[in-house]
Amino acid sequence: MLSKKLFKRAKTLIPGGVNSPVRAFKNVDGDPFFVRRAKGARIEDVDGNHYIDYVGTWGPAILGHAPNSVTGAIPEMAKDGVSFGIPHPGEVEMAQTIIDWVPAVEKVRLVSSGTEATMSCIRLARGYTKRDKIVKFEGCYHGHVDSLLVAAGSGALTFGEPDSAGVPASLAAETITLPYNDPAALEECFATYGDQIAALIVESYPANAGLILPKDGFLQQMRDITTQHGSLLIFDEVMTGFRLGKGGVAELEGISPDLTAMGKVIGGGLPVGAFGGRDEIMEHLAPNGPVYQAGTLSGNPLAVIAGLTQLREIDHNNGFMKLEALGARLEEGVRKILHEKGLGYTFHRKGSMFCLFFTEKPVFNLDDVETSNKEHFRRYFWNCLNKGLYMAPSPYETGFISMAHTFDDIDKTLEIMNESI
Ligand SMILES: *Cc1c(COP(=O)(O)O)cnc(C)c1O
């Protein structure tokens, strides 16, 4: 078993043997497999096992793994250079594409990860409003930014410690955390602290504690209350952006945030993030304004070309409609299985994102998510994996369908789920 051997060795070299905690399979009491290659909807591990994949490198792989268009574009670009640190045309093309697609973004800056994007939004909001407090919701993950690692969803939840050691108490004190889908709590928070709040940041659809959807009017309340108090509304669309539609949740729900954080899908599998918003706010960034933000590899030519290639391919192939059809087929099948087995578990889906909660409780917030039957999830996860189906190794994750999945793949998936649950 090569995976076992590699993991043993990795643990002597890398903390926990992984470069990001969610990869460690801690929440399913096991060890991760090591991947040899991945193509389309499928992964092959180093021991030669094959899996249908619904993790999709945690979101970016919307075309499936290693799409030919992207793997063709990268070496083509690399012939001319892999990093310049000098402006190049690809950055302008990427900025234009983001601004064309995302209605609330008038100016955009590229960074190298989603974490950098949210971190920069927070600093910009504080610099622009000259206020310090940030409001976030329990279960929303915005990357491992100090001020945002409070009650932060999947990775932190898996280890049962919502707050990270190493975050200064003085900094965490500037972050107010509210339960999601609770209009009264939001109202009270702004009534009390309104004039000190720089920004409210929210995962436009929270997708790092399973997939939670806003109750009718909750996003509009966020928009209204921040405007009323002179605070900024930041939509973290790192997960949802370019996955649920060209303009993300902001467009789907008709809400116009002041700032938007982006990542994952826009990088085509390479490290990219971006943040953007109203021109007047973005102009506060250096070199034009007083808010400093920078990056040696920001706008990296390989990452930009990979991302642009991916976005164009989704668009040219009617991608979002196809993904919706695949998602609908999966949803119909899962509901049928649950019904036939007499399981009242909650299933949420939006387009190509889905989550099966192992709880009969309707899920509106983190407390509801935590009523999940972890033991049942663990059994289900290993049964699926052993039959060639790779679902995320935690009950707090969202699943992703890619354009490389076929209706046959979905049917095969349902067959395995039916035998595994
Ligand atoms: C993944 C994620 C991030 C962090 O992005 P990284 O590229 O991992 O730094 C931020 N916000 C949301 C909503 C995410 O899903």
Residue range 330-359, pLDDT digits in tens: 999 999 999 999 999 999 999 999 999 999
Half-sphere exposure of 236 toward its Cβ, with a 13 Å CA cutoff?
Answer: 29
Distance from Cα 139 to the centre of ligand 1, integer Å: 13
Neighbours of 191 (CB within 10 A): 10
Residue with tokens 């729900």: 253
Identify the residue whose tokens are 């234009």: 96
Spot the catalytic one: 31, 45, 53, 236: 236
At residue 111, φ and ψ (nearest 5 deg) are: -130, -165
Percentage of the chain surpassing pLDDT 90? 93
Would you say 205 and 214 are in contact if contact means Cβ atoms under 8 Å apart? yes
Looking at residue 158, its pLDDT comes to: 44
Question: Can you give the length of the chain in residues?
Answer: 421
| d(C-alpha 243, C-alpha 221), whole Å | 24
Give me the pLDDT at residue 243, please: 97
**Residue of 141, 205, 355 best suited for mutating to test ligand 1, as the one with most atoms within 8 Å of CB:** 141
Asked if the model's pLDDT at residue 36 lies above 70, the reply is: yes
60 touches ligand 1 (CB under 6 Å): no
Question: Cα(206)–Cα(112) distance, rounded to whole angstroms?
Answer: 22
Catalytic residue among 26, 136, 246, 264: 264
Q: Examine domains 2-66+318-420 and 69-315 and report if their fold is the same.
A: no
Mention every residue, 6+ apart, whose C-beta is less than 8 A from residue 283. 107, 289
Strand locations in 171-219 (E): 175-178, 197-203
**Active site includes 141?**
yes
Which H or E run contains 411?
Answer: helix 407-420
Q: What's the confidence (pLDDT) of residue 153?
A: 59
- Helix 89-101, helix 301-316: angle, nearest 10: 40
Mean pLDDT of 212-232: 98
Work out the mean pLDDT of the chain and round it to a whole number: 95
Phi-psi category of 397—alpha, beta or left, where left has phi over 0 and alpha has psi -120 to 50?
beta
pLDDT at 162: 46
What superfamily would CATH give domain 2-66+318-420? Answer: Aspartate Aminotransferase, domain 1 (3.90.1150.10)
- Looking at the whole model, is its pTM more than 0.85? yes
Choose among 7, 31, 5: nearest CA to 382: 31
Is residue 155 predicted with pLDDT exceeding 60? no
Mean pLDDT, residues 37-63 taken together: 98
- The alpha carbon torsion through 26, 30, 31, 36 (nearest 10 deg) reads -110
| Position 156 pLDDT exceeds 60 | no
More confident residue, 170 or 243: 243
Q: Which of 142, 149, 266 to mutate to test the pocket of ligand 1 (most atoms within 8 A of CB)?
A: 142
Which helix (H) or strand (E) segment holds residue 2: the answer is helix 2-13
142 lines ligand 1 (CB under 6 A): yes
The tens digit of pLDDT for each residue in 125-135 reads 999 999 999 99
Q: In the annotation, is 380 catalytic? A: no
Is residue 313 scored above 60 in pLDDT? yes
CATH number of 69-315: 3.40.640.10
Mean pLDDT of 364-390: 97
CB neighbour list of residue 8: distance below 8 Å, 6 or more residues apart: none
If one residue of 264, 275, 350, 397 were mutated to test the ligand 1 pocket, choosing by the most ligand atoms within 8 A of its CB, it would be 264
pLDDT at 131: 98
- The percentage of residues in the chain with a pLDDT greater than 70, rounded to a whole number, is 97
Reported as type and span, the H/E element at residue 189 is: helix 183-193
Active site residue 236: yes
Task: Spell out the domain ranges in the chain.
Answer: 2-66+318-420, 69-315
